[in-house]
């Protein structure tokens, strides 16, 4: 399943009533919803805020935590609270009514609504909410609840022992590492480059409206310095034209533009010291509700859901696009540029929802202007308006047209119509054939297990160059949605294979990550060799990177472990629904003996939706492939552990934890797929015995992962989703496993 297909089928919450699940999600391993609330928010909010939400006291909260054996309550800083809001929302999505959720966050309802809409489709990622959620209010626990809490306390002691009280790292401790002054050894790469630009997304930037939150710095000095060392010379961030520029035609636009552009200039100046430019991602013009067009009906374009395009074929709208871009460029003259998506999940221009990725683009039916035009005429005109704005400002900003969603027909017609300054960006691996486990598929979204370039990108780049345009590759060099719960996937051999193909394809620049993949990893360092040399020696590149990161004594063993990891990752069953299968959550995804009936949310809630997880594959093949992947990864991990014994210490502990986390997630996905395959079969003694074995293995994995995630705050974090899980979520899985085993034993009695 590709992102666009998922979002087509998902409920959009903007300007309409949200879709709701039928009933609240029961968690019987907790004594009550009150206990569940305290547990799940113990390390996400401060004691006083928890007490306020449940109308209790600090002592009530602390007593409830102690009754379940939770570790000492931690205090969260303002920076931690600012960065963890998606995790807070996810943890309480099936628990708290909206009023209490807003209170827990310390927000307004308006801020929550904006975040759900604009923070990378957060509403869709979360999925449906229960039809009615009653407030969670403090009441003295009953005798039965106290007994159940005591059992939980004893279970934690038995399973985790002293690990439960280890200090480890607090949430976002890794941010401090990149926020210190740049180390003296760090400096921009100064050799002449073959590829320009070389752009990436910040590993930990906030996504929604980052220019109004300067305290959560997306590009601190040490981070920029490390990117520069890895050959990166551009970073990107999301932008909305309607809050970056005032507009006479739209007086409601442009609120706080001065503050946002002032902060943008601060970031631009700092990045330039490291030889890095900033690029803004535009998905414009954003569609609006019907009320927006009162008094301006001539601008109303095509409809999608409850929104209407601000029609770009109207001269006044074309002028607004041009003037807004010019305003940004004049007020941020050192901006690196912009890149666009125009056939998008967001409804934007009138053709933005007319048959993405198909052979032919559908015809707009409900816009009196665009219905007379071809898709390539509308899309090229939009880019023409933006390029006119750059020219009017007379800056060096570049415009990059990302062909995400363009039909084959558009690829054949649009290139000669685009301004000659434009670079065309294509997903390199898209449409690459895959044959795994006897199932033939094609890459339908970003992949590292299937290196590109694929036939679609090659065609797009060829057409662009024939029209005199630059050709750029969109890739994932660090990680992908195949598994984004680790900062990078240690498969440099696959990165080498991909970059060798890109070098032969003759691209002139690269966007090396979407929101995941921006960690300064050995993968990025390996990739940088191709930025400056058309034909570097892959063996020498891998050896050099391994020596620099781990020392000469460990390098040979590291390179061999990378090879084993890369070979194992080729077994990933590409064609599963990567946006819903629990590779991001791994052992934190709870086991359900009874079907929840819930559809998965994109990325954030896999639930128990086996049929949705499997995509193009039969479940038995998904289980087989993840088992093969885990077995091969285990061989690489054995080799890596041995190499780390002689490695220099700077990266050894974390990189080993990253490799171990990958294994735990692959093993857990295999277990969960098999668990739900069995759950759907008649209950027999043999079935229950295998189910119990799977639950016990999940218990083993969870105990091992708890230690890793407590020690390393960077694990299970991704910039646009925040934490997929925290240590107590893994501890909850331990409770869930015990409860599941108890129910299976009762069923056998």
**395 CB-side CA count, 13 A:** 22
The CA distance from 513 to 731, in Å, is: 32
What is the reported pLDDT for 14? 31
- Which three-class secondary structure state does DSSP give residue 506? coil
Q: Is 402 left (phi over 0), alpha (psi -120 to 50) or beta?
A: beta
State the pairing for strand pair 423-427/398-402: parallel
Same domain, 147 and 208: no
Asked if the model's pLDDT at residue 8 lies above 70, the reply is no
Look at the alpha carbons of 469, 474, 475, 476 in this order and tell me if their dihedral is positive or negative: positive
Mean pLDDT over all residues of the chain? 94
Confidence bin at 1 (pLDDT 50/70/90): low
The CA distance from 735 to 479, in Å, is: 31
Asked if the model's pLDDT at residue 185 lies above 90, the reply is no
Residues near 211 by Cβ (< 8 Å), separated by ≥ 6? 237, 239, 259, 260, 261, 263, 264
> Is position 566 within any domain?
no
What is the reported pLDDT for 15? 31
The CA distance from 284 to 310, in Å, is: 9
Same domain, 199 and 161: no
Taking residues 607-620, what's their average pLDDT?
A: 96
Q: Which two tokens stand for residue 460?
A: 């797009």
Same domain, 150 and 203: no
Among 299, 321, 298, smallest CA distance to 310 is for 299
The CA distance from 16 to 305, in Å, is: 9
Interval 344-399: pLDDT, tens: 878 999 999 987 678 899 999 999 999 999 999 999 999 999 999 999 999 999 99
Taking residues 330-334, what's their average pLDDT?
A: 98
Task: Please provide residue 28's backbone torsions phi and psi, each rounded to the nearest 5 degrees.
Answer: -70, -10
Question: End of a domain among 519, 550, 581?
Answer: 550
State which H helix or E strand residue 424 sits in: strand 423-427
Cβ 737 vs Cβ 507: under 8 Å = no
* pLDDT above 70 coverage of the chain, percent: 96
Q: Is 174 left (phi over 0), alpha (psi -120 to 50) or beta?
A: alpha
In order, the DSSP letters of 346-375 are S--STTTTS-TTSSSPPPP-S-TTGGGS-H
> Is position 744 within any domain?
no
Number of domains in the chain: 2
Asked if the model's pLDDT at residue 13 lies above 50, the reply is no
Q: Which residue has the tokens 């401790």?
A: 173
Residues near 592 by Cβ (< 8 Å), separated by ≥ 6? 607, 608, 679
Same domain, 73 and 217: no
> Is position 706 within any domain?
no
Same domain, 158 and 200: no
In order, the DSSP letters of 196-224 are --EEEE-TT--SSSGGG-TTS-SS-HHHH
CATH of residue 541: 3.20.20.80
Q: How far apart are the first and last CA of the chain?
A: 42
Task: Please provide residue 717's backbone torsions phi and psi, each rounded to the nearest 5 degrees.
Answer: -105, 140
Burial of 293 (0-12, 13-18, 19+ CB in 10 A): middle
In order, the DSSP letters of 514-581 are SSS--S--HHHHHHHHHHH-SS--HHHHHHHHHHHHH-HHHHHHHHHHHHHHHHHHTTS-BTB-TTTS
Asked if the model's pLDDT at residue 16 lies above 90, the reply is no
Taking residues 281-305, what's their average pLDDT?
A: 96
Taking residues 492-516, what's their average pLDDT?
A: 97
Interval 107-162: pLDDT, tens: 999 999 989 988 888 988 998 888 889 999 999 999 999 999 999 999 999 999 99
State which H helix or E strand residue 343 sits in: none
Same domain, 57 and 155: yes
Cβ 468 vs Cβ 508: under 8 Å = no
Asked if the model's pLDDT at residue 22 lies above 70, the reply is no
Burial of 57 (0-12, 13-18, 19+ CB in 10 A): middle
Confidence bin at 246 (pLDDT 50/70/90): very high
Interval 569-578: pLDDT, tens: 999 999 999 9
Same domain, 232 and 132: no
What is the reported pLDDT for 21? 58
User: What range defines the domain where residue 6 resides?
Assistant: 1-165
Question: End of a domain among 116, 144, 165?
Answer: 165
Taking residues 448-454, what's their average pLDDT?
A: 97
Asked if the model's pLDDT at residue 537 lies above 50, the reply is yes
> Is position 273 within any domain?
yes
Distance of CA 636 to the CA centre of its chain: 26
> Is position 677 within any domain?
no
Confidence bin at 17 (pLDDT 50/70/90): very low
pTM: 0.95
The CA distance from 414 to 467, in Å, is: 9
Asked if the model's pLDDT at residue 210 lies above 90, the reply is no
Q: Which two tokens stand for residue 463?
A: 């057409």
Question: End of a domain among 550, 565, 598?
Answer: 550
Cβ 46 vs Cβ 78: under 8 Å = no
> Is position 348 within any domain?
yes
Same domain, 496 and 374: yes
Confidence bin at 9 (pLDDT 50/70/90): low
Asked if the model's pLDDT at residue 748 lies above 90, the reply is no
The CA distance from 42 to 728, in Å, is: 8
Burial of 679 (0-12, 13-18, 19+ CB in 10 A): middle
> Is position 202 within any domain?
yes
Taking residues 94-111, what's their average pLDDT?
A: 97
What is the reported pLDDT for 346? 86
**Residue 600 to residues 19, 125, 270, 671, 681, Cα–Cα distance (Å):** 13, 8, 41, 18, 22
Same domain, 152 and 206: no
Taking residues 610-620, what's their average pLDDT?
A: 96
What is the reported pLDDT for 747? 87
The alpha carbon torsion through 571, 198, 722, 583 (nearest 10 deg) reads 0
Taking residues 482-501, what's their average pLDDT?
A: 98
Taking residues 471-497, what's their average pLDDT?
A: 98
Same domain, 155 and 226: no
- Lowest model confidence (mean pLDDT) among 11-15, 240-244, 423-427: 11-15
The answer to whether the peptide bond before residue 285 is cis (omega within 30 degrees of 0) is yes
Same domain, 34 and 78: yes
Among 153, 149, 131, smallest CA distance to 140 is for 149
Taking residues 220-245, what's their average pLDDT?
A: 95
- Lowest model confidence (mean pLDDT) among 124-133, 242-251, 516-525: 124-133
Cβ 384 vs Cβ 422: under 8 Å = no
> Is position 360 within any domain?
yes
* pLDDT above 90 coverage of the chain, percent: 87
Q: Which two tokens stand for residue 330?
A: 């004049």
Interval 670-684: pLDDT, tens: 999 999 999 989 889
State which H helix or E strand residue 277 sits in: strand 277-282
The CA distance from 584 to 602, in Å, is: 11
What is the reported pLDDT for 445? 81
**Residue 620 to residues 401, 585, 624, Cα–Cα distance (Å):** 41, 21, 6
Same domain, 296 and 441: yes
- Which three-class secondary structure state does DSSP give residue 312? coil
> What's the DSSP call for residue 454?
-
């Amino acid at each position: 399943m590709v992102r666009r297909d998922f979002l087509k089928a998902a409920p959009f919450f903007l300007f309409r009533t949200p879709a709701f699940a039928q009933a609240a999600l029961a968690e019987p391993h907790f004594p009550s919803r009150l206990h569940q609330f305290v547990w799940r928010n113990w390390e996400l909010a401060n004691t006083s805020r928890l007490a306020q939400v449940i109308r209790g006291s600090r002592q009530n909260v602390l007593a409830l935590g102690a009754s379940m054996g939770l570790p000492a309550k931690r205090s969260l800083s303002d920076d931690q609270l600012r960065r963890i809001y998606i995790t807070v929302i996810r943890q309480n999505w099936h628990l708290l009514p909206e009023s209490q959720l807003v209170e827990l966050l310390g927000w307004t309802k308006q801020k929550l609504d904006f975040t759900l809409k604009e923070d990378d489709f957060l509403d869709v990622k979360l999925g449906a909410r229960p039809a009615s959620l009653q407030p969670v209010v403090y009441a003295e626990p009953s005798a039965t609840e106290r007994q159940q809490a005591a059992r939980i306390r004893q279970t934690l002691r038995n399973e985790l022992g002293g690990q439960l009280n280890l200090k480890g790292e607090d949430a976002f401790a890794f941010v401090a590492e990149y926020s210190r002054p740049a180390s003296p050894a760090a400096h921009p790469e100064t050799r002449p480059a073959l590829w320009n630009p070389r752009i990436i997304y910040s590993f930990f930037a906030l996504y929604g409206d980052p220019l109004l939150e300067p305290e959560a710095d997306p590009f601190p000095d040490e981070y920029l310095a490390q990117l520069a060392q890895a050959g990166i010379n551009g970073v990107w961030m999301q932008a909305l034209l309607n809050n970056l520029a005032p507009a006479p035609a739209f007086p409601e636009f442009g609120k706080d533009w001065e503050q946002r552009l002032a902060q943008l200039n601060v970031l631009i100046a700092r990045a330039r010291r490291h030889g890095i430019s900033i690029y803004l991602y535009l998905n414009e013009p954003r569609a609006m509700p019907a009320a927006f067009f009162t008094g301006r009906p001539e601008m109303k374009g095509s409809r999608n859901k409850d929104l209407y395009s601000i029609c770009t074929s109207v001269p006044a709208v074309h002028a607004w696009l041009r003037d807004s871009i010019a305003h940004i460029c004049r007020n941020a003259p050192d901006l690196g540029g912009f890149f666009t998506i125009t056939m998008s999940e967001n409804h934007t221009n009138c053709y933005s929802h007319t048959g993405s990725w198909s052979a032919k683009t559908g015809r707009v039916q409900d816009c009196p202007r665009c219905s007379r035009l071809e898709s390539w005429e509308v899309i090229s005109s939009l880019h023409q308006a933006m390029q006119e704005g750059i020219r009017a400002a007379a800056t060096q900003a570049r415009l990059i047209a990302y062909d995400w969603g363009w039909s084959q027909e558009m690829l054949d017609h649009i290139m000669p119509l685009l301004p000659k300054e434009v670079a065309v960006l294509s997903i390199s691996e898209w449409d690459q054939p895959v044959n795994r486990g006897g199932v033939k598929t094609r890459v339908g979204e970003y992949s590292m297990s299937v290196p590109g370039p694929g036939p679609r990108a090659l065609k797009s780049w060829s057409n662009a160059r024939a029209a005199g345009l630059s050709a750029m590759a969109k890739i994932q060099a660090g990680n992908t949605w195949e598994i984004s719960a680790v900062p990078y996937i240690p498969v440099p051999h696959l990165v080498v294979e991909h970059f060798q193909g890109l070098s032969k394809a003759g691209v002139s620049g690269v966007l090396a990550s979407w929101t995941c993949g921006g960690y300064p990893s050995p993968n990025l360092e390996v990739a940088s060799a191709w930025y400056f040399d058309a034909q570097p020696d892959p063996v020498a590149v891998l050896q050099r990177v391994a020596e620099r990161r781990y020392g000469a004594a460990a390098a040979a063993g590291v390179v061999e472990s990378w090879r084993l990891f890369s070979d194992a990752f080729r077994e990933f069953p590409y064609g599963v629904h990567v946006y819903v299968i629990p590779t991001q959550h791994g052992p934190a995804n709870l086991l359900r003996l009874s079907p929840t009936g819930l559809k998965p949310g994109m990325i954030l809630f896999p639930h128990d939706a086996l049929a949705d997880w499997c995509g193009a594959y039969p479940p038995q093949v998904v289980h087989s492939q993840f088992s093969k992947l885990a077995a091969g990864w285990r061989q690489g991990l054995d080799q890596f552990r041995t190499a780390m014994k002689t490695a220099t210490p700077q990266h050894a502990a974390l990189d080993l934890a990253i490799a171990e986390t990958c294994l735990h997630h692959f093993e857990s996905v295999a277990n969960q797929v098999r668990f739900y395959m069995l759950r759907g079969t008649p209950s027999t003694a043999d079935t229950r015995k295998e189910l119990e074995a799977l639950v016990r293995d999940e218990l083993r994995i969870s105990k091992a992962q708890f230690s890793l995630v407590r020690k390393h705050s960077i694990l299970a974090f991704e910039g646009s989703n925040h934490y997929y899980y925290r240590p107590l979520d893994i501890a909850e899985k331990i409770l869930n496993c015990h409860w599941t085993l108890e129910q299976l034993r009762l069923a056998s009695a």
